[in-house]
Structure 1
Amino acid sequence: MAQFFKTNQLQSASISTCVGSFRELTIRPANQQKFLHLKGHYEIVSLTGTFADHGENNHIHISVSDSTGYTIGGHLVDGNIIYTTAEIVLLNNKGINFTRVKDPETTYYELEVLKD
């Protein structure tokens, strides 16, 4: 992802929309430390997130459904295998710089939006 940002000279971006499917994916469900690895055919029903620091830091949430309509979601983790396609539309946020700053209370790196 960082190479894509560098090649296209993106400072920060956000996901506008996505359609597609997976045959394997890994997510981290809400408030869990363990990853959940799913195998099978999963349709992407929602994908949203931000890319900060020239694509080096991202925060992406996903919801997928199986062939019965069962839907699950969480933080998208690297290393997923696309089944048919993943048409991801990114918005280039020109004039705005996304970065992540460690929150002293939660210790999570939270999005900070700065104007260029």
Structure 2
Amino acid sequence: MRTLPIRLHPQQNLRRALEGLASAENIQAGFVLQGIGSLGVAMIRFAGMDQALELRGDMEILTLSGSLSPDGAHLHITVADAQGRVTGGHVAYGCTVRTTAEILVAELPGVQFSREPDAESGCKELVIRGAPPAHA
């Protein structure tokens, strides 16, 4: 496993930056292991919803995790506002770094992720190729 620690700067788009890193580094199967930092704008989509909620103000990233593939990112985040209220869900485009974001990405060599339509869920879901078989 190769790890890539990165730092994002003010005004960078969180999701676009991570997808850009995956593309630039030719990551076929990656995970965001953890992320901390701050956002000035958070675009968070809740489970079962079509549209993201836009939050503005000083927010701390409490957790950031997810998967990266050539098809894009699937990321989850929790943020706390200046009053300590916590909100979490899917990272949508438009999350903007306020001061910094410190993120650790791991690449899984010999593995390829893709997101393909799944008849059971009705969504594009993770497909893993090249991984050893799972143990029951």
TM-score, normalization by structure 1: 0.89
Q: Name the % identity.
A: 31
Structure 1 residue 100 displacement after superposition: 1.2
Shift in alpha-carbon separation, 1:3–1:82, aligned structure 2, 3 A: closer
1:106 aligns with 2:133: no
**Gap runs ≥5 in structure 2:** 1-17, 132-136
User: Aligned residue for 1:26?
Assistant: 43
Structure 1 residue 105 displacement after superposition: 2.5
Superposed, 1:47-62 pairs within 5 Å as: 47-52=64-69, 54=70, 56-62=71-77
**Gap runs ≥5 in structure 1:** none
Shift in alpha-carbon separation, 1:36–1:2, aligned structure 2, 3 A: closer
User: Aligned residue for 1:91?
Assistant: 106
Q: For the residues of structure 2 that align with 1:84 and 1:17, how far apart are their CA atoms?
A: 17
Structure 1 residue 57 displacement after superposition: 2.0
User: Aligned residue for 1:5?
Assistant: 22
* Maintained 8 Å contact 2:38/2:58: yes
Shift in alpha-carbon separation, 1:43–1:31, aligned structure 2, 3 A: same
Q: For the residues of structure 1 that align with 2:102 and 2:41, how far apart are their CA atoms?
A: 17
TM-score, normalization by structure 2: 0.77
Between Structure 1 and Structure 2, the one with more strand by share is: 1
Structure 1 residue 3 displacement after superposition: 4.2
